[in-house]
Amino acid sequence: MCSQKLFIRYFSLIFSPILCMKCALMQLSSVSHFSCGARFLVASSFDSGSQECPSCHAVVDRSDVSIEKLPTPFGHQLSSAILLKPSDGSWNTFELGDDLHIGIAGTCGVVHSFWTEGIVSESTSWEDSIVVSSLDLPDIDARFVEFIDLQGPNFLPETYDETAWNCFDLIVRFLHFVNRSPLLTKVDFTSQFVEEPLKRAVKYLKLYREVENRGCVVLQRKTRLNRDYRNRQMADSLEDLSAETCVDRTNDANGFLNNQFDIFVHDYRELTEVEPDDCCGGKKEGVEDVGCSHSASGDGGPSKKEVINVTRKLQKSIFSLQSLPDATAYADLQAELKGLHTILTRALSSTSAEFAPSNLPLPDYDEADMQMLLGEDEVPKTVSMLEKVAEEKTKAGERLQGLLVQAEILMREATHAKGGIAK
């Protein structure tokens, strides 16, 4: 019964006026005044002929200016897409931490979302939404009807829960249904598709509010001959919101990982900072990598000096066996000694290697951001990078200690082979 009502309501909206998602609000424009070479941003329409140039204060003639609307993340005429908007109010009043609502746009501008009233289909109220992802499904309307027939009972008003079962669950379930990212969770979806478009929208909002509060913002003054240069510089300084989504996502992901790496290096240095009296006999020395440690593993394992001494003893044992008249009789022991010497040498090299994004367990998303978007209950607790690195160093120290014990046994065998057991 539920899916039948939804089916009838959906098709009653199909023939309603198509939603044209072009938001007239929050539009920034770049105005170039040819006479003085000034370029400035305005947050409303610029009426040439009655307004003054904020740089030279001359009344601007229409033939003496160039007005260009800047790309905006809000309001697009797209179908078959996932859209995002504030749950209450509009982007004009949005602040980070406010609740967000997400929906699926069909081919005719109808947006479907899960709310306290169940699955709701609307042809209005999404005019200033931002596009999170384009689905590129020509038959999205038919697929959504099929989805309602199968999943409708899971999205009734009484099943809605603000934290545990909300509008984001509808999106993830629909993506599973159309075989788009079948293993995606809400946290994964938010990290991969929502976080970066939202950051770009917030960045644009910040700029818009600054321009609106000041009336206009003068960017720079250049000569008329350098107008092309100014346009190129503006293109470089303002992110192209209409660029390919996959390229943006890749760049955003790389930038996020680099930022997480910088945070880790800073925290690691703070954590491993030691007082002068506690390190190296009262003298505070430089650190290997980004920390200071006496142990080769960096966490209380054998010291680097101990490991180096053992590698030298192993080398001496190998030479001693090779010098015996019947050296071939001890070929297997020599091979074991050489193999262990190689392993310990590599272990020393690995402890001296610097941290890099490629050899650290960097997170795929910012846990605090995810908790702010989805709620604390929806985001699994994660182990910090510092804790992971500390755990790995502990394990490395244990492995290194085991190798030293093995080396001691082999060297005793080599001593015995030469004619006596080491005391």
CATH number reported for the structural domain that contains residue 227 in this entry: 3.90.1720
Q: Is residue 32 part of a domain?
A: no
Structure confidence by residue, pLDDT tens digits, 105-136: 998 889 999 999 999 999 888 988 999 999 88
- How far apart are the C-alpha atoms of 355 and 135, rounded to whole Å? 38
- How far apart are the C-alpha atoms of 404 and 410, rounded to whole Å? 10
Question: Terminal CA-to-CA distance of the chain, rounded, Å?
Answer: 88
Looking at the fold, whether 289 and 388 belong to one and the same domain comes out as yes
pLDDT value at 221 more than 70: no
Closest Cα to residue 248, out of 330, 193, 287, 179? 193
Q: Is residue 305 part of a domain?
A: yes
Q: Is residue 268 part of a domain?
A: no
Tell me how many degrees the CA angle 63-64-66 measures, rounded to the nearest 5. Answer: 90
Window from 183-187, 282-286, 339-343, 403-407 with minimum mean pLDDT: 282-286
Looking at the fold, whether 282 and 176 belong to one and the same domain comes out as no
Looking at the fold, whether 228 and 287 belong to one and the same domain comes out as no
Q: In the predicted model, what is the mean pLDDT of residues 31-56?
A: 82
pLDDT value at 299 more than 70: no
Tell me the chain's radius of gyration from C-alpha atoms.
32
Q: Is residue 422 part of a domain?
A: no
Other C-beta atoms within 10 Å of 271: how many? Answer: 12
In total, the chain counts a number of residues equal to 423
Other C-beta atoms within 10 Å of 246: how many? Answer: 8
Q: Is residue 28 part of a domain?
A: no
Report helix, strand or coil for 3. helix
Q: For 152-157, which contacts have Cβ atoms below 8 Å and span 24 or more sequence positions? A: 152/2, 152/3, 152/6, 152/119, 153/2, 153/3, 155/114, 155/118, 155/119, 156/2, 156/118, 157/116, 157/117, 157/118
Which of the pair, 1 or 190, is modelled with greater confidence?
Answer: 190
**Mean pLDDT in the chain?**
75
Looking at the fold, whether 303 and 384 belong to one and the same domain comes out as yes
- How far apart are the C-alpha atoms of 423 and 420, rounded to whole Å? 9
Q: Is residue 113 part of a domain?
A: yes
Nearest-10 crossing angle of helices 385-417, 331-352? 150
Exposure string for 86-99, b = 16+ CB within 10 A, e = fewer: beeebbeebeeeee
Report helix, strand or coil for 215. coil
Token pair listed for 38: 């000034």
Domain boundaries, position 402 = 276-417
Looking at the fold, whether 204 and 305 belong to one and the same domain comes out as no
Q: In the predicted model, what is the mean pLDDT of residues 275-293?
A: 41
Q: In the predicted model, what is the mean pLDDT of residues 164-175?
A: 94
Q: Is residue 92 part of a domain?
A: yes
Looking at the fold, whether 294 and 409 belong to one and the same domain comes out as yes
Looking at the fold, whether 131 and 80 belong to one and the same domain comes out as yes
Q: CB within 8 A of 224, min separation 6: which ones?
A: 34, 35, 37
Amino acid at 5: K
Closest Cα to residue 299, out of 396, 399, 402, 423? 396
Cβ distance 68 to 40 under 8 Å? no
Q: Is residue 52 part of a domain?
A: no
Looking at the fold, whether 235 and 125 belong to one and the same domain comes out as yes
Cβ distance 413 to 333 under 8 Å? yes
Looking at the fold, whether 220 and 329 belong to one and the same domain comes out as no
Looking at the fold, whether 283 and 139 belong to one and the same domain comes out as no
Highest mean pLDDT, choosing among 46-50, 198-202, 260-264: 198-202
Number of domains, the chain: 2
Domain boundary among 242, 268, 285: 242
Looking at the fold, whether 8 and 130 belong to one and the same domain comes out as yes
Residues in a beta bridge with 40: 31, 218
Looking at the fold, whether 86 and 214 belong to one and the same domain comes out as yes
